[in-house]
Amino acid sequence: MKQKELTSRLLHIVGEEGVVLNPADQEPYVNDWLGKAHGRTVAVVRPRNTTEVAAVMRLCHQTHTPVVPQGGNTGMSGGATPDMSGAQVVLSLNRMKRIHDVDPINNTLTADAGVILADIQQAARHVDRYFPLSLGAEGSCTIGGNLATNAGGTGVLRYGNTRDLTLGLEVVLPDGRVWNGLRALRKDNTGYDLKDLFIGSEGSLGIITGVVLKLFAAPAGRVTAWVGAQNLTNIVALLNRLQADCGPRLSAFEMMSAPSLALVTQQLPGHASPLDKTYPYYALIELADTNMSGVQDMLQAGLAVAIEDALIDDCVVAMSEAQSISMWKLREGISMAQVKAGKAVKHDIALPISSLARFAAEADQAVQDDFPGLPIINFGHIGDGNLHYNVLLPLDVAYEDYAKKTADLNKRIHDLVTQFNGSISAEHGVGTLRRDELRRYKSSVEMDLMIAIKRTLDPNQLMNPGKLL
C-alpha cells in the first residue's frame, strides 16, 4: 500500500489530532533522550482508546506495516525508536491517559497504559494508598513502558519490580485482536500466566493498552540517611545488617561510588554532598513504615553501631523532608550528569548481592588495565543486586572510536558478569543496545524458546522489529 493511502486510513481511524506527519513534530518521537537512537517514521499514530489501537493494528497487519510501540520515550536501550527505513509506524500511547478505577478495599488500580507513572502514584495517594514503583523518569515515563521493560527503580528491594506489582493486563495482539486480562485477582491458576509473557517483552509481542496494579498501605513517613565508607564490601555488609535489623522497613538502599557523586556535584548546580569529607563509596538509605514511631531511632542506632564497628566512616540522617529530597536529588541526578559530561557506555547489570564487591574490584581492574584513564561511574540499586556500571567516554569522542570502545568494553564487562552468574540486562531492557550481546550470553535453548514465542504471536515480525531479538 502506498504511504499516502496508509496515512489517510490511519487518519480515518484516529482523526487529525491522532496522526503526526510533519517531520519537525515527529522529532521527539523518532529520537531518544540520550541522543543515541535516531530514526524515521511513516507516521506517529496516537490512538485514544483500545478500540482505536485494535483498528490501527488490524490495518498494519493487513498492510504488513511494522509498528514501534512508544510510551514516554524515556527508555535507555533504544527500544522505542523506529529504524532509519522510514517504513515503520510509531504507535504512541500518550493520549491513553485514563485511570478507570481505584479500589482501596481490593487494593488495586486499573488504568490505561499511557498514564504517566507519577499520576498513578498520585491517584493511589488520593485514597491513602501507595504505589511503590519509583524511578528518576517517573514524571514522564508511562505505566505501559514500565510494564514493557519490567522497570525496576528504587523500590524493588521492598516491593519487587513492575512484574511483581501487576495483577492484570489488556493487550492488543499484532493482528488486532484484543486480549482482555484485566483481572484484579491475587489468585488465578487457570493455565499459563499470559500477562508474564507481555511484561518485559519490550513491544515485541503486542501493544499493552491497560493494566490492573497492586496498591499497598501508605507509609506514614520516611527516614533518609547518607553514609560514607571505605569500600563496597562494607556497604554490602551494612545492607545485610539493616535488612536483618529493620526487616521490611528498609525501603531503599542505593549505592554511589565517589566518581558518581563527584560527577553530580560538578555537573548539576545546587547539588552538594551531605558529608564534609569524601569517601570511596556512599549509600543512600531509607526506612519507611505505616507507623513511624521509633523508626528514626532504629536507623540512628544501627548507623551508630556501624560506625563503632568501622563498617562506615561517617553518616548523616536527614532531619527534614527537604533534606531527604536533596539527598535523593543527588542520587537521581547521576543519569543527567553523565549526559552532560560524556558518552556513557552503560552496563545495567544484576549480580548476586554476595558477589557485588568482588565483581566491582575485578571490573575496576579490567577497565584500568585495558581502558586506562576512563572514568568509571558505578552506582545503583544494590539492595536488589543491580549495578549501573558505566564507563564514561569524552563528549567529543569520534563515532568510530565510540563504537569500537563500546563493543570492547561491553565484551570485557559482560564476560565478567557472566562469570559471576549475573545478568547483562537488569532493568532497562535489551532494545537495540544489548540485542547482539544477548545472543552471545543466552543459551541456544533459551533463544530458541524466545524465538518460538515471538513466531507464534507475531508470525509476520511486525512488532518492534530489530529490538530485543
Return residues touching ligand FAD (CB under 6 A). 33, 68-76, 79-80, 93, 113, 135-137, 141-142, 144-146, 148-149, 151-153, 202-203, 207-208, 335, 427-428, 431, 464, 467
Least distance from ligand FAD to the Cβ atom of residue 27, Å? 15
Asked if 425 touches ligand 2HG (CB under 6 A), the answer is: no
Contacts of residue 270, defined as CB under 8 A and 6 or more positions apart, other chains included, come to none
Per-residue string for binding with ligand 2HG, 48-67, x by CB under 6 A?
--------------------
Least distance from ligand FAD to the Cβ atom of residue 53, Å? 9
Least distance from ligand 2HG to the Cβ atom of residue 151, Å? 9
Asked if 378 touches ligand 2HG (CB under 6 A), the answer is: no
Q: What angle do CA 388, 260, 265 make, to 5 degrees?
A: 140
- Residues 238/311, Cβ–Cβ less than 8 Å: yes
Per-residue string for binding with ligand 2HG, 259-288, x by CB under 6 A?
------------------------------
Asked if 346 touches ligand 2HG (CB under 6 A), the answer is: yes
Asked if 224 touches ligand 2HG (CB under 6 A), the answer is: no
For ligand 2HG, the closer CB: 46 or 428 = 428
Residue with cell 515471538: 454
- Residues 383/252, Cβ–Cβ less than 8 Å: yes
Give the closest residue to 236 by CA, choosing from 363, 366, 385. Answer: 385
Asked if 343 touches ligand 2HG (CB under 6 A), the answer is: no
Burial (Cβ within 10 Å: 0-12, 13-18, ≥19) of residue 11: middle
For ligand FAD, the closer CB: 6 or 148 = 148
User: Considering CB distances under 5 to 8 angstroms, the limit depending on partner class, which of ligand FAD, ligand 2HG, none binds residue 261?
Assistant: none
Residues 115-154 that bind ligand 2HG (CB under 6 A): 136
For ligand 2HG, the closer CB: 209 or 335 = 335
- Judged by CB under 6 A, the number of residues near ligand 2HG is 7
For ligand 2HG, the closer CB: 202 or 458 = 202
For ligand FAD, the closer CB: 129 or 428 = 428
For ligand FAD, the closer CB: 119 or 362 = 119
Torsions phi, psi of 311, nearest 5? Answer: -75, -40
Residue with cell 514522564: 140
Residues counted in the chain: 469
User: Considering CB distances under 5 to 8 angstroms, the limit depending on partner class, which of ligand 2HG, ligand FAD, none binds residue 388?
Assistant: ligand 2HG
Asked if 342 touches ligand 2HG (CB under 6 A), the answer is: no
Query: Strands 89-92 and 43-45, how do they pair?
Result: parallel
Least distance from ligand FAD to the Cβ atom of residue 296, Å? 26
Q: Nearest to ligand FAD by Cβ — which residue?
A: 145
Contacts of residue 310, defined as CB under 8 A and 6 or more positions apart, other chains included, come to none
Residue with cell 498520585: 122
Buried/exposed code over 305-330 (b: 16+ C-beta within 10 A; e: otherwise): ebeeeebbbbbbbbeeeeebebbbeb
For ligand FAD, the closer CB: 145 or 302 = 145
User: Considering CB distances under 5 to 8 angstroms, the limit depending on partner class, which of ligand 2HG, ligand FAD, none binds residue 74?
Assistant: ligand FAD
Give the closest residue to 218 by CA, choosing from 126, 141, 295. Answer: 126
- Can you say how many angstroms the Cα of residue 382 is from the centroid of all Cα atoms in its chain? 15
For ligand 2HG, the closer CB: 59 or 334 = 334
For ligand 2HG, the closer CB: 273 or 338 = 338
Please report how many Cα atoms fall inside a 13 Å half-sphere around the Cα of residue 33, on the Cβ side: 13
Cα–Cα distance for residue pair 29/82, rounded to 1 Å: 9
Per-residue string for binding with ligand 2HG, 381-420, x by CB under 6 A?
-------x-x------------------------------
Task: Point out which residues bind ligand 2HG (CB under 6 A).
Answer: 136, 334-335, 338, 346, 388, 390
